[in-house]
Amino acid sequence: MTPKDIFQTIKDKDVKFVDLRFTDTRGKEQHVSVPVKAFGPEKFESGHYFDGSSIAGWKGIQASDMLLLPDPTSSFIDPFLDATTLAITCDVIEPSDMKGYDRDPRSIAKRGDAYLKSTGLGDTAYFGPEPEFFIFDAVEWSVDMSGSRCKIYSEEAAWSTGDKFESGNKGHRPSVKGGYFPVPPVDSLQNIRSAICMALEGMGVIIEVHHHEVATAGQNEIGTMFAPLVQRADWLLRLKYAVHNTAAKYGKTATFMPKPIVGDNGSGMHVHQSIWKAGQNLFAGEGYAGLSEFAIFYIGGVIRHAKALNAITNPGTNSYKRLVPGFEAPINLAYSARNRSAAVRVPLVNSPKARRIEVRFPDPMANPYLAFTAMMMAGLDGVQNKIHPGDPIDKNLYDLPPEEAKDVPHPCASLDEALAALDKDRSFLTKGGVFSDDMLDAYIDLKMEEVTRFRMTTHPVEFDMYYSL
Q: What amino acid positions are annotated as catalytic residues?
A: 51, 130, 132, 213, 221, 270, 340, 358, 360
284 CB neighbour count, 10 Å cutoff: 21
CA distance 239 to 134: 13
Contact 239, 205 (CB under 8 A): yes
Where are the strands (E) in 227-319, listed by range? Answer: 227-228, 253-255, 269-277, 280-281
Q: Are 429 and 440 in contact (CB under 8 A)?
A: yes
Please state, in angstroms and as integers, the Cα–Cα distance from residue 365 to each residue in 107, 124, 255, 314, following that order: 19, 25, 9, 7
Angle between helices 415-424 and 306-313 (to 10 degrees): 120
Residue 13: CB atoms within 10 A of its CB come to 12
Cα distances (Å, whole numbers) of residue 349 to 264, 295, 377: 30, 15, 25
CA atoms lying within 13 Å on the CB side of residue 266: 26
